[in-house]
Structure 1
Amino acid sequence: METSIIKLNHYTDEATKAMLQKVIEKKRKFEILHKRHLFVMWLTILFAFLYFIFLYKHVAIPYSHSMERMFSAFIEESFNLYAMTVIIGSFGFMNVLKQKTDKAEKEFHALRCEIIDKSKDLWKKEEEWKSRHQVFEMMKKEYDINLFYESK
């Protein structure tokens, strides 16, 4: 458990601490997947760009007089098959990561909203209710998780 959550002894009970820890874990998972998705997306764009430059210089310019010769030069090189496979594979992997990122974001947002909705149940006592804003401010400051409002 995070040290800043452990320090919330008199502000929250153990169940609330577990929920706060879980929302931090969901946020970290979302951020990691988002970074991976962006990395693979830019890598796919770079591969495709470099490959099309290669095709332009080695296939389109030398054989521009005949479409049949361009197609034949494209088919003769086995490198083209491998390059297309890598580009299509990285595009597919990028889409898989995007789906995982969207799912992780929905899980994070749902848990964050659940904490906001159940805040009256989580901080039942009067002194706990008055000090809950300190917990929310700590979550915002240290983990960039907004528990004041449901909107992103």
Structure 2
Amino acid sequence: MNALNHWKIKPFVNELTSIVLAQLVDKKVEKDKWKKAINQWGLSMIFVVLATFVYLYYYKLPTASRFSNPLTLLFSDEMVWICTGFIIFSSFYMIWMKKKYKKADDDFEAIRKDFIDRNEEWWSDEEQWNQRHVVFEFMKQEYNINILHK
């Protein structure tokens, strides 16, 4: 909430508008947090998959005989089991995080659309109404939140 007491917008918002904008910023931060976590886990999962293939290609394939069963070769190695376990865990964890991200995104969009729909209620006097574009620009530049259009 302290971030919204910025000198540029403080004269143009009343207390209720400031509270709603602060909620909007909080929801945006939460949404961005889940998006960043999903990206990090996805990249780590891709790295583990690539590392597993490199491990199999450079360390297991040269030691395998021509007549050995490839499935036995794969399932007898504990490193492959560890990597497979990590990939399965990461997949389920990413599904859970995507649900959290979807909920955070829905909450953010609901507050944002409600703010846009009730635009006339947030600006109590004529000067605030005429200078609301300053708040719109500030929110877009500082937090990348568009409260001008749906």
Using the size of structure 1 for normalisation, the TM-score is 0.84
Query: Match for residue 109 of structure 1?
Result: 109
Is the counterpart of residue 51 in structure 1 residue 52 in structure 2? yes
Deviation for aligned residue 1:10: 3.7
Match of 1:35?
Answer: 36
CA distance in 1, matches of 2:75, 2:110: 50
Gaps of 5+ in 1: none
Normalising to structure 2: TM-score of the pair?
0.85
Alpha-carbon distance in structure 2 between the residues aligned to 1:86 and 1:37: 15
- Residue identity opposite 1:53 in structure 2: V
TM-superposed deviation, 1:60: 4.1
Aligned-partner Cα distance in 1 for 2:140–2:73 = 58
* Alignment size in residue pairs: 149
Indicate the RMSD between aligned Cα atoms, in angstroms. 2.1
Structure with the larger RCO, 1 or 2 (CA within 8 Å, 6+ apart) = 2
Q: Percent identity?
A: 27
Q: What stretches of structure 2 of length at least 5 have no aligned partner?
A: none
What one-letter code is carried by the residue in structure 1 that aligns with 2:138? M
Q: CA deviation at 1:27?
A: 0.8
CA contact (8 A) 1:33 1:97 kept: yes
